[in-house]
């Protein structure tokens, strides 16, 4: 954990915590920089919370600036995203950069307008909120599981204690009920590391998205990128591990008359691609929808109290909204584990189909 | 179709609004699909438990799995509606 804080602290040349100042520049901040401004935009608040960003919004007007890393045709750029707040432009070593209204990094010209060609040429490799949370999750998993492994080596045949005693049934569940059942007793050990990593990675990321306190609380699995990468990993594994019977069943299923094969084969080929795609959509949409529902009901308090003006509206809605939000949060805890389970189970079913031995049961 | 033509003639700049209305309508229909699907799964699971109470754990875990798969498709439609609506 000390290493984590050193990583954050060393990578930021600017102040560790940046306060927003009142500026004349128009802002899209839903809290309203100008005192007395009562405009509450629920849509913007929701998008800000479930989207990725170059700084970490802690509370109120306090942001934690994260490092910006850009690969430009002229070279690399490192600076703190604190320079980019409120749409300000930053003069780097190889260009001037600003965040546009969709929070994407753009290269701007002298009078502030976006330079299309230069923007296409840069690669934004910043440590954004999601990237930092991914690193945090990986470190958390390493600490937990490497610690567990060392504990088992030290204890020998004795029963596990502490966190290991809680996680051991889960690990055995993934290995036996998911991997062994679907892949078969011959090949399952080869894929169990990937399935275990997948299960705990998704589960931990989902739970991190539900805890609202720093350093947790970033919506990683509800962003399309993370499930995309995981689904691509599954697709690559299934494609490269698949044995000949799998391809044969896909391209020319035995025992089917030729005219039906003409329709069936394209469908099977599409299915090979669509199945990982549904994995992606299922995880992404479930988690994102859960976060949006929570945020929408939370925003109801602000809407009913007219952003602080109407005390009656605020106090009347708060108990119901609080109770409902607690209930939805508990449901989201179930969904977090369930989506991890479904992703892992379906992945192992697809792998099991791919490495299945040819069964000779033609009558 | 004629209703759409009338709407677009009355407010010619409203095509984006019509698109958003269509997206939200689609998401609502997907919710109907999810409700019907998961309702049927839950109903048959309850019937099976009533017929054989000792198989409750097996049936319950299979029900949860099937519900997650059905919800996946429905939430895909919701996500599409969300993307268009924004």
A8 has a pLDDT exceeding 80 = no
Of B64, B65, B75, the CB nearest to A286: B75
The total number of structural domains in chain B stands at 1
DSSP assignments along A284-307, one per residue: HHHHHHHHHHHHHHHHHHHHHTGG
Contact A68, A77 (CB under 8 A): yes
Instruction: Kindly indicate the confidence band of residue A37, based on its pLDDT and cuts at 50, 70 and 90.
Output: low
Instruction: Say if CB A145 and CB A193 are below 8 A apart.
Output: no
Q: CA dist A306 to A30, A47, A110, A324, Å?
A: 13, 20, 41, 20
- What residues make up the domain containing B79? 28-86
Q: B24, B28, B14, B84: which is closest to B3 by C-alpha?
A: B14
What does the block give as tokens for B70?
């059905």
- CA A284/CA A264 separation, integer angstroms: 29
Q: What is the 3-state secondary structure (H, E, C) of A11-71?
A: CCCCCCCEECCCCCCCCCCCCCCCCCCCCCCHHHHHHHHHCCCCEEEEECCEEEECEEEEE
User: pLDDT tens for residues A150-172?
Assistant: 999 998 888 888 888 999 999 99
Single out the residue of A20, A13, A7, A6 nearest to residue A92, CA to CA.
A13
* Interval A301-334: pLDDT, tens: 888 888 777 788 888 888 999 999 999 999 999 9
Average pLDDT of span A7-19: 42
B64 is a domain residue = yes
Which tens digit of pLDDT belongs to each residue from B38-52? 999 999 999 999 999
The strand pair at A62-65 and A67-72 is best described as: unpaired
Q: Do B71 and A47 touch (CB under 8 A)?
A: no
B73 close to A (CB below 8 A) = yes
Residue B58 CA to residue B66 CA, distance in Å, equals 12
Mean pLDDT value across chain A: 83
Q: Which of B64, B71, B84 to mutate to test the interface with A (most CBs of A within 10 A)?
A: B71
Please check whether residue B51 lies inside any domain of the structure.
yes
Closest Cα in chain A, distance from residue B1 (Å): 31
Report CB contact under 8 Å: B78, A345.
Answer: no
CA distance A146 to A148: 5
Distance CA A322, CA A314 (A): 12
- ∠ Cα A30 A31 A33 (to 5°): 105
Q: Which residue has the higher pLDDT, A75 or A240?
A: A240
B86 — contact with chain A (CB < 8 Å)? yes
Q: What is the DSSP string of A109-169?
A: -TTS-B-HHHHHH-EE----HHHHHHHHHHHHHHHHHHHHHHHHHHHTTSPP-THHHHHHH
| pLDDT for the residue A300 | 85
Q: Could you tell me the pLDDT band of residue A254, with boundaries at 50, 70 and 90?
A: confident
Q: Is pLDDT above 50 for A359?
A: yes
Of A340, A219, A337, A335, the closest CA to residue A279 belongs to A340
pLDDT score for A192: 94
Q: Is pLDDT above 80 for A28?
A: no
Q: pLDDT value at position A200?
A: 96
Q: What pLDDT is stored for residue A11 in this prediction?
A: 42
Please indicate whether, in this complex, the C-beta atoms of A281 and B68 are within 8 angstroms of each other: no
- Res A21 pLDDT > 50: no
Q: Residue B44 falls within a domain, yes or no? A: yes
CATH of the domain at B81: 1.20.20
CB contact under 8 A, B71 and A345: no
B71 touches chain A (CB under 8 A): yes
Residue B34 forms part of a structural domain: yes
Question: 3-class secondary structure for B61-77?
Answer: HHHHHHHHHHHHHHHHH
pLDDT-based confidence at residue A362 (cuts at 50, 70, 90): low
Establish if B5 belongs to a structural domain. no
Q: Which of A120, A135, A188, A186 is nearest to A1 (CA)?
A: A135
Residue B85 inside a domain? The answer is yes
Which positions ≥6 away from A42 have C-beta within 8 Å?
A30, A296, A299, A302, A303
SS3 percent helix, strand, coil of chain B, rounded to 5, is: 90, 0, 10
pTM for this model (two decimals): 0.83
* ipTM of model: 0.76
Whether B19 is in a domain gets the answer no
Q: Sorting pLDDT into bands at 50, 70 and 90, what band is A203?
A: very high
Tell which residue, A200, A165, A166, A194, has the closest CA to residue A179.
Answer: A194
Q: Does some domain include residue B16? A: no
Question: Residue A215, preceding bond cis, omega within 30 degrees?
Answer: yes
Tell me what percent of the residues of chain A surpass a pLDDT of 70.
88
Pairwise pLDDT comparison (A111 vs A23), residue with the higher score: A111
Instruction: Tell me if chain A has a CB within 8 Å of the CB of B39.
Output: no
Question: How many alpha carbons fall within 13 Å on the CB side of residue A148?
Answer: 15
In B, minimum Cα distance to A279 occurs at: B72
* Angstrom distances, CA of residue A283 to CA of A34, A180, A228, B5, B70: 39, 23, 10, 38, 12
CA distance linking residue A122 with residue A107, whole number of Å: 8
What's the confidence (pLDDT) of residue A354? 92
Do residues A347 and A279 make contact, with C-beta atoms less than 8 angstroms apart?
yes
State pLDDT tens for residues A52-64. Answer: 888 888 887 888 8
- Looking at A173-257, list the stretches that DSSP marks H as alpha helix, in order from N- to C-terminal side: 181-183, 188-210, 225-241, 244-251
């Amino acid at each position: 954990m000390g290493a984590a804080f050193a990583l954050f602290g060393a990578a930021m040349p600017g102040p560790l915590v940046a306060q927003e100042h009142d500026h004349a520049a128009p802002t899209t901040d839903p809290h309203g920089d100008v005192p007395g401004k009562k405009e509450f935009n629920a849509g913007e608040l929701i998008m800000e919370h479930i989207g990725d960003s170059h700084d970490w919004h802690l509370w109120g007007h306090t942001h934690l600036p994260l490092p910006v890393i850009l690969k430009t045709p002229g070279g690399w750029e490192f600076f703190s995203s604190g320079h980019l707040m409120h749409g300000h432009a930053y003069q780097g070593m190889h260009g001037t950069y600003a965040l546009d209204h969709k929070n994407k990094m753009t290269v701007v010209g002298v009078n502030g307008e976006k330079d299309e060609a230069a923007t296409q040429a840069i690669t934004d490799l910043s440590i954004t909120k999601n990237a930092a949370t991914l690193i945090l999750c990986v470190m958390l998993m390493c600490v937990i599981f490497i610690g567990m492994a060392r504990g088992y080596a030290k204890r020998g045949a004795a029963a596990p204690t502490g966190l290991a005693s809680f996680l051991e049934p889960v690990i055995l569940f993934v290995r036996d009920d998911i991997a062994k059942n679907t892949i078969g007793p011959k090949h399952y050990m080869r894929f169990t590391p990937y399935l275990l990593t997948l299960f705990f990675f998704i589960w931990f990321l989902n739970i991190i998205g539900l805890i609202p306190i720093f350093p947790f609380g970033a919506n990683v699995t509800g962003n399309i990128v993370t499930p995309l990468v995981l689904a691509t990993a599954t697709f690559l594994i299934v494609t490269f591990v698949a044995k000949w019977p799998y391809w044969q069943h896909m391209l020319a299923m035995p025992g089917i008359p030729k005219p039906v094969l003409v329709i069936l084969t394209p469908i099977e080929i599409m299915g090979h691609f669509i199945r990982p795609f549904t994995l992606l959509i299922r995880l992404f949409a479930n988690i994102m929808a859960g976060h949006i529902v929570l945020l929408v009901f939370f925003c109801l308090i602000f809407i009913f109290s007219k952003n602080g003006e109407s005390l009656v509206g605020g106090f009347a809605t708060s108990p119901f909204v609080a109770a409902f939000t607690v209930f939805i949060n508990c449901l989201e805890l179930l969904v977090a584990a369930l989506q991890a389970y479904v992703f892992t189970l379906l992945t192992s079913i697809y792998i099991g189909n791919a490495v299945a031995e040819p069964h000779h049961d033609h009558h | 179709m004629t209703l759409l033509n009338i709407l677009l003639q009355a407010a010619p700049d409203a095509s984006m609004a019509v698109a958003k209305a269509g997206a939200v309508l689609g998401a609502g229909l997907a919710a109907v699909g999810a409700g019907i699907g998961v309702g049927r799964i839950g109903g048959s699971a309850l019937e099976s438990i009533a017929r054989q109470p000792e198989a409750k754990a097996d049936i319950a875990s299979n029900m949860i799995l099937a519900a997650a798969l059905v919800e996946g498709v429905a939430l895909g439609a919701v996500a599409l509606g969300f993307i268009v609506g924004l």
